Structure 1
């Protein structure tokens, strides 16, 4: 059959009024997409491999079909009768729907493309293996401090297709995971930043090349009117950035000669490409290397969306880091304790370890198909390692013969072992490099349990280092 990719009725966007759109996967984003399609009078079919009560309720609310656990023949029939299908963010690329859809010429459409077709207001986007949530929050604060109404959307509690229902925002700040970027075709932000790249999400993407290509989609089709912001200290990112018609870079290394603007740190002062000082690092709540890089990246994107220098500086001074991201819990006996439970890949854990001189590292959990042996690169910063969870043996192997490794069967055991290994001046850092789903339901629950175990040791809490509650983020 012939599939209509773009309907003839204004507002349909990259889907069809003539054939239903199959929404596959009914988590937060899938349900938001289904509601958005139905609100525009577009036919929709709901599909989920493990339907939840929320999915069943949604089908009743919309008065549409819900197909649960379709076999291969049923899935093929559903897609053969569809005009497009929307995969849930995080649906593994090995799922048969991708092959069936491609074979039948049924396009996969992401929520970012739907929102771009339905709402003309400007967006900016942030992607990267690490730091997306922090930089997204920073950009929004910079815009708000500059008098611009802005909201966070995308890989947050509010998908972009739902955020556009609010008439008040002037700019949407989109946290763009690789899952959301992979099917992207028409989403065109005013500016987009790629923070960094490291192996991750091999439990979803077919291979590392597919993960990298999904990230690079954030600059898909960029022209001279759209700003690409790139980490000049990351060779993978710069490999995709070179030659962009409108490029600015950020980083802690030397600023290169040649075209483009370069955001940098001069001594302790964060500066614009023109040399204007933004803030001194001493004015920030925390100034680890990745904190400074994130601040520069956020400033570059925010300026492209209209933020002022004063608003940017005010936001940086006021910003309090999000929970479970190198969060100082307290100190005792000259040892500081940090919760970095959000570090669910080696790339993130190594970035955290590099911010300190002498670390006792607690690492492990459920590996996401990644090479944990690279953790050994952080050995110069480490005094000892405590291995936890399903990946205990892999973590231990990464440091075999290099640093002392203790294995722990619970978080309490891990905290006690870390306390025994630490010396005055050390940092104990929970930076697991793995997902949490072996022992916990989320990285937040893991971090909270770590904080509980640390407090039980009599560690003095430091509430000034924790910021106000922030909107939650989806997934690991």
Structure 2
């Protein structure tokens, strides 16, 4: 068996290594080949091809059984066109891992999965915490620091898979006992050809399920609910009027109370929604009970860079929400507070930014930054104070001067970080250093 792995970042490198472990002959390619890529190929002992044109790709793929594109390779890329032209099967790393796990001696271990435009990481980590509270050894895998092809090599009882549309687009057999689709908003239109292909990729989290599996959807997402109608598994909902909902100050499921909201260490509106989704995942899969859920929620604080409280300075709370790289995610954060001095903007992903300003009455001032600063300023027109500046340090200074005791300074960009930073983590780390709270000036 022979495979072309295209793209050699974290997931691509992990996939190449995994294929070699499983006895495949591997060729690797990338659009940009620097010293690190050359060294990696040499370490793996594989041929590396730099920026092949479509004719060369067709020739390569005609001799391959699989194309394994890294998540960074868009569906409009010439390598995808070449694979379709040659009839070469396209598979993502989660699809490969799933197939190999089915062949595991002793049988496959349980998997649950999460997708959505926003909230994936928080819900994934919350689910991991619930399973650990139930006594299971588990790991968050997929769109995390641990690709699923590496996770299945670990001694674990179960896996919680964070699924991006990039990985789901190239799946066929990938199936989980419970799979939650959290929401859908315009995003990644520089990767997907259309919103329909984006939505269809997300829907693949359910497409291979069996009748006994749980397809879990958010009641506040009409498109997700519409797609749920075609899911072959059991249809389960969460949110207002969902099977999993809030009543009398408690998280409630189909079989009764799960945990009091007061027991949650953090209970902002999106925390409650994510907790309902995670509860559905662990209960519908039978992997945990309500006592484990309550223990986990009593300790869970959320991942870094997602509404991360940095501290209070001169009566002003400072929050790092650098992970909010879409207007939808920023809107969720803005809805959680009043009297906000908002820092927003970044790399343009060619989506409508208007959604982030739906609750502009929560915002008293905006400091818009980065490539999209003028567009951000435009959608927040009508807010009492709107300023623009290119870089984050100046934005932090302006925000500090605009905020008064009782206000919240919130970095919730609503845009990607790649105009100025290598990742949203780097942007958030910089903001943490700049903020006049713990560890700041």
TM score, norm. by length of structure 2? 0.94
Q: CA deviation at 1:243?
A: 5.7
Contact 1:26 1:51 (8 Å CA) reproduced: no
- What pairs up with 1:272-283 in 2 under 5 angstroms? 272-276=253-257, 278-283=258-263
Give the ranges of 4+ consecutive aligned residues of structure 1 lying more than 6 Å apart after TM superposition. Answer: none
Q: Deviations over 1:419-454 (max 9, x none)?
A: 233233221111001111222222122112222222
Partner of 1:94: 76
User: Could you tell me whether the CA contact under 8 Å between 2:371 and 2:390 is conserved in 1?
Assistant: no
| TM-aligned CA distance change 1:419 to 1:64, over 3 Å | closer
Q: Does the residue aligned with 1:318 lie in a helix, a strand or coil?
A: coil
Q: State the superposition RMSD in angstroms.
A: 1.7
The aligned counterpart of 1:227 is 214
1:382-417 deviations in whole A, cap 9, x for unaligned?
Answer: 112110011111111112245431112332221222
For 1:145-156, list aligned pairs within 5 A: 145-156=133-144
What is the CA–CA distance in structure 2 between the aligned matches of 1:78 and 1:121, rounded to whole Å? 35
Contact 1:324 1:447 in 2 (8 A): yes
State the Cα deviation string for residues 293-320 of structure 1 (Å, max 9, x = none). 1011111111214112211111111112
Runs (5+) with no aligned partner, structure 2? 102-107
- Segment drifting more, 75-84 vs 184-193: 75-84
Greater mean deviation of Cα atoms: 199-208 or 61-70 = 61-70
Partner Cα distance (1:240, 1:439) in 2 = 37
Is residue 82–residue 106 contact of structure 1 (8 Å, CA) maintained in 2? yes
Q: What corresponds to 1:127 in structure 2? A: 115
Equivalent residues of 2:325, 2:415 under 8 A apart: yes
TM-score by length of 1: 0.87
1:72 pairs, out of 54, 62, 73, with 54
Is 1:161 aligned to residue 140 of structure 2? Answer: no
State the match for 2:318 in structure 1. 337
SS in 1 for 2:201: helix
- 1:466 match: none
CA change 1:52–1:301 in 2 (3 A) is: farther
Residue 218 (structure 1) aligned with residue 200 (structure 2): no
Contact 2:216 2:236 survives alignment (8 Å): yes
1:361 to 338, 342, 354: 342
Kept in 2: contact 1:330–1:461 (CA 8 A): no
**Aligned 8 A contact 2:363 2:383 in 1:** no
Tell me by how many angstroms 1:54 deviates.
4.0
8 Å Cα contact 1:191/1:305 also seen in 2? no
Structure 1 residue aligned with 2:105: none
Note if contact 1:231-1:249 (Cα within 8 Å) is conserved in structure 2.
yes
Q: Give the structure 1 partner of residue 304 of structure 2.
A: 323
Counterpart for residue 5 of structure 1:
none
CA contact 2:364–2:383 (8 Å) conserved in 1: no
The answer to whether the Cα contact below 8 Å between 2:373 and 2:390 also exists between their aligned partners in 1 is no
Are residue 295 (structure 1) and residue 275 (structure 2) matched? yes
Give the counterpart of 1:237 among 202, 213, 224.
224
SS of equivalent residue, structure 1 residue 188: coil
Match of 1:314 among 268, 289, 295: 295
Which sections of structure 1, spanning at least 5 residues, go unmatched? 1-16, 256-261, 463-476
